[in-house]
Each structure stands twice: as structure tokens, then as C-alpha cells.
Amino acid sequence: MDDAPGEAFDKVARRLKMHNIFEYRNKNGGAAIEMAAKKATDPVQFEFPPTMPHYRDCNFSFSGLKNSAFRQIQKLEIDLNIMADEIIPDINNLCAGFQLAVAKHIANKTKRAMLFLDNENLIPNENRTLVVSGGVACNNFIAKVLGIVSDQQNYRLVRPPPQLCMDNGVMIAWNGMERWKINAGVLRDPREIEEIDHQSRAPLGDDWTSRIKKAHIQCSIIKTKDIYST
């Protein structure tokens, strides 16, 4: 993954100058875009090309969608002579289109992962559960789209209440506090702490990227009409 979805939301919101709009000035980018998208009159006015459509893997990429949004914003500003801190007139529709593109990308990659697990018989029928958490899980629209995919693949979607879907940094700190309280996996000796080798990126389990690519799983994409008809 290049840009995280939350990072893409933040950068697009910043480029849209949403902090200049009173109701969004104290909101993070994801929350501001979701709020604006709810006011869209034409959520498909702006088209965003499918991300990595020919890659039959489960890797996420949001930089292309972000750059596509930047180009569309720049074109509108030039065509409409938008100056300085002025806001483009169709901001709600653009937010809706960008949010839709992000949601569909996440959903399509998740669907391929589900199909892979089914083909490999890795998920027991009594435990077909998709758990969604983290900052982007706050987004109700993305949760709705993942719910559609879960229903299609006979999975149960589980998501904590949005107020508990915090930024990953907060989640990591909370996990550290809980571990500290029960003294599980915690170093307390300053000398041991100083000897820790810090890693900016650390592996999480085994990397099955190549295994999934070799499976060459065909996956029908979720359709926009299915999202807005539910």
C-alpha cells in the first residue's frame, strides 16, 4: 500500500480547502469528506478510474485516486477561475465521488481475499466474519459498502461503534497501556528499552502476496447501482 486511505482523505480534503468551510474546520479530512458527500446531489458527477483493475491481488493503492482528485480539482479551479481560498462549487459531489471510489477499491480487494480464503478452505463456515476497525472504519459509507460485499459472500460484518474506531496511533497506545497494567510483553528496565531495535515497518504474519497472485482469482467488481439501491 502506498498512501493509507485516511491519508488520502486528509490530503484531498486539504486540497479542497475544506478547513475554510465553517462546519468542517475542526474535522479531520475523512470526517469532512463523509459529511460533504452526504449532501451530494449527483454522487457520480466525477468519475474516478478503477484502481489496479488488472492486478489480481489484494494489495491496496490509494495514491492514484488521490492524484485523480487533485487533477479534477485543479481543472475546475482553472476552468472556473477559482482564486486563493475560494471553494469549487461542486465540492459535495466531488467528495461523494472520491469516497465512492475509495469504498469500491477497499470492497473489491476484500472480496478477492474472501474468494481466496474460500478456494483454500481457510475459513470455517461457522466463523465467516469480517472485522473492520481503525480510523477508516469510522466512515459509515465504507462500512455500508463492505456490508454489501459481506452479504454477497455470506460473511458477517463486525465493526466497533464509530467512536471507538480511533486512529491507529491511539489504538497502539491503548494496547500498550493494557499490556502495562497486566505486565504482558512490557519492558520496564531502561537499559533493555534502550537496546530495542526500532522498525518503521514490521511484518505482520506471513506474506501471501505471491500466493494470491498465482491463484489468479477472477473477481466481479461491486457495482455503483448496487451501492445506491440499498
> Which of 43-47, 88-92, 180-184, 185-189 shows the lowest mean pLDDT across its residues?
185-189
Tell me how many domains the chain contains: 1
**CB–CB of 56/217 below 8 Å?**
yes
1: pLDDT confidence band, cut at 50, 70 and 90?
A: low
Residue 144 falls within a domain, yes or no? no
3-state helix, strand, coil in the chain (%, to 5): 55, 5, 40
Residues of the domain holding 102: 5-122+205-228
Residue 25 falls within a domain, yes or no? yes
106: pLDDT confidence band, cut at 50, 70 and 90?
A: very high
What are the distances in angstroms from CA 27 to CA 36, 158, 160?
Answer: 11, 25, 20
| Three-class SS of 79-141 | HCCCCCCCCCCCHHHHHHHHHHHHHHHHHHHHHHHHHHHHHCCCCCHHHCEEECCCHHHHCHH
**pLDDT per residue over 158-186, tens digit each?**
998 887 787 677 778 888 899 999 988 88
**CB–CB of 33/9 below 8 Å?**
yes
Residue 197 falls within a domain, yes or no? no
pTM score above 0.75: yes
Count of CB atoms situated within 10 Å of the CB of 206: 7
Residue 199 falls within a domain, yes or no? no
Q: What's the angle, vertex CA 102, arms to CA 99 and CA 104, rounded to 5?
A: 105
**pLDDT per residue over 112-155, tens digit each?**
999 999 999 999 999 999 999 888 889 999 999 999 999 999 99
Residue 214 falls within a domain, yes or no? yes
156 φ, ψ to 5°?
-100, 125
**Grid coordinates of 176:** 500498550
* Residue at grid coordinates 481457510: 122
